[in-house]
């Protein structure tokens, strides 16, 4: 079965600084890849997804992610973080023809003023 | 016009009780899911239903039983609640193996 690792449990950045959240997956073929965000006390909101095609994917709220097959990675980036970006971020991996999606443990983002 | 809705939002109950959480989606999706998120925010899939048929059943206690009266609804019934069942339970839906859309969660506290 597929699996996903988010190496960073907690990251703190200053408002206006750039952000990169790491995600590595394990799967033999090309997976479906997702980033979700969860604000405190809320459900999960999809930021972006990769199914095929262009490996640089644009999402909502100014986020983007790049699929790198050689590194089995799908890192999330944002050039300038806003205080409202403070939340928990989850990377997830799914597979074609299978509804089983696995989530990483999450990375908690704190934004300093 | 909420896409995936869950009721109740909060549930506080005593150990040993039986409770149900309801989920409805109006997206026309054919697959629905239940996830458990523990206090460390770890999300684990519990069940998945595709066209009213169970297709994933992770190793959860048999006190948990999903019930899908139709493809727009997937309810979760829990018997003999235990302290360790306290968590946030999320319902989600998808079309085939595509993007999963999540409900707002049900925060269960067992006392």
Reported as half-sphere exposure (CB side, CA atoms, 13 A), residue B15 has a value of 4
Q: Do A106 and B105 touch (CB under 8 A)?
A: no
Percent of chain A with pLDDT over 90: 78
Q: Could you tell me the end-to-end alpha-carbon distance of chain B, in angstroms, rounded to an integer?
A: 34
Contacting residues of A for B42, CB less than 8 Å apart = 103, 105-106
- Whether B55 and A99 lie within 8 Å, measured CB to CB: yes
Q: Does B14 touch chain A (CB under 8 A)?
A: no
Chain-centroid distance of CA A50 in Å reads 11
Kindly provide the residue ranges of all beta strands, DSSP E only, lying in A1-113, ordered along the sequence.
Answer: 3-5, 10-14, 19-21, 24-26, 32-38, 44-50, 56-58, 64-68, 73-78, 87-95, 98-103, 107-112
Which tens digit of pLDDT belongs to each residue from A55-76? 999 999 999 999 999 999 999 9
Nearest to B102 among A44, A100, A108 (CB): A44
The per-residue pLDDT for range A72-88, each reduced to its tens digit, is 999 999 999 999 999 99
Query: What's the rounded Cα separation, in Å, for the pair B4 and B72?
Result: 9
The predicted structure's pLDDT at residue B53: 81
Question: Hey, what are A79's tokens?
Answer: 């050039």
Tokens of B27: 């997206």
- Residue B58 is classified by DSSP as -
What radius of gyration, in Å, describes the C-alpha atoms of chain A?
A: 13
- Report the pLDDT value the prediction gives residue B1, as an integer from 0 to 100: 60
Is there a contact between A66 and A55 (Cβ–Cβ < 8 Å)? yes
| Contact residues on chain B for A100, CB-CB shorter than 8 A | 45, 48, 56
Beta-carbon contacts of A28 under 8 Å, excluding residues fewer than 6 positions away, are none
Asked whether the beta carbons of residue A46 and residue B40 sit closer than 8 angstroms, the reply is no
Residue A2, pLDDT score: 81
**Tokens 């997702």 sit on residue:** A34
Residue A14 pLDDT: 97
User: What's the gap between Cα A82 and its chain centre?
Assistant: 17
Side-chain half-sphere CA neighbours of A102 within 13 A: 17
Question: Are B48 and A90 an interchain contact pair (Cβ–Cβ within 8 Å)?
Answer: no
Are A99 and B56 in contact (CB < 8 Å)?
yes
* pLDDT given for residue A42 in this prediction: 86
Question: How would you class B98 by CB atoms within 10 Å of its CB: exposed for 0-12, middle for 13-18, buried for 19 or more?
Answer: middle
**pLDDT of B26-53, one tens digit each?**
999 989 999 999 988 889 889 888 877 8
Closest partner residue to A97 (CB to CB) among B97, B100, B105 is B97
Mean pLDDT of the region A17-22? 97
Report d(CA A4, CA A75) in Å as an integer.
12
Substitution target in B6, B99, B109 with the highest count of A β-carbons within 10 Å is B99
The lowest-confidence range among A43-52, A97-106, B29-38 is A97-106
The C-alpha of A24 sits at a distance from chain B's nearest C-alpha, in angstroms, of 16
CB B81 within 8 A of CB B13: yes
Token output for A20: 């990169």
Omega before residue B8 within 30° of 0, cis: yes
- Interchain proximity A44–B40, CB inside 8 Å: no
Question: What integer pLDDT is reported at residue B91 of this predicted model?
Answer: 96
Pick out chain B residues at pLDDT < 70. 1-2
Touching check for B90 and chain A: CB below 8 Å?
yes
* Token pair belonging to B77: 């019934």
């Amino acid at each position: 079965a597929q699996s996903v690792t988010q190496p960073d449990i907690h990251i703190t950045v200053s408002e206006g600084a750039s952000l990169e959240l790491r995600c590595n997956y394990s799967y033999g073929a090309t997976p479906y890849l997702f980033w979700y965000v969860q604000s405190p006390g809320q459900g999960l909101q999809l930021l972006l997804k990769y199914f095929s095609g262009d490996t640089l994917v644009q999402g909502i709220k100014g986020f983007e992610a790049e699929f790198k097959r050689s590194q089995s990675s799908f890192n999330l980036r944002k050039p300038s973080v806003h205080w409202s970006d403070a939340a928990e971020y989850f990377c997830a991996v799914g597979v074609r023809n299978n509804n089983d999606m696995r989530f990483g443990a999450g990375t908690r983002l704190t934004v300093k003023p | 016009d909420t896409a995936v809705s869950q009721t109740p939002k909060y549930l506080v109950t005593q150990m040993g009780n039986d409770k149900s959480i309801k989920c409805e989606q109006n997206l026309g999706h054919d697959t629905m899911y239940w996830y458990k998120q523990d206090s460390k925010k770890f999300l684990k899939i519990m069940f998945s239903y595709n066209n009213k048929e169970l297709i994933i059943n992770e190793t959860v206690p048999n006190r948990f039983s999903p019930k899908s009266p139709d493809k727009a609804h997937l309810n979760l019934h829990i018997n003999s609640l235990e302290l360790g069942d306290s968590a946030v339970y999320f319902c989600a839906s998808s079309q085939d193996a595509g993007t999963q859309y999540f409900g707002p969660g049900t925060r269960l506290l067992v006392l």
